Amino acid sequence: MKPDSHPHYRPVVFQDATTGKTFLTRSTVTTSRTIDLETPAGVRTYPLVVAEVTADSHPFWTGERRIMDTAGQVEKFRRRYGPSRGR
Tell me which residue range forms the domain holding 43: 10-81
Residue 2 lies in a domain: no
Report the pLDDT value the prediction gives residue 81, as an integer from 0 to 100.
86
Average pLDDT, the chain: 83
In a domain, 87, yes or no: no
pLDDT at 24 over 70: yes
pLDDT per position as a tens digit, 44-85: 999 999 988 887 777 665 666 655 566 677 788 888 888 766
d(CA 36, CA 46): 6
Per the structure, the count of domains in the chain is 1
Best CA proximity match to 52, nearest among 16, 27, 22: 16
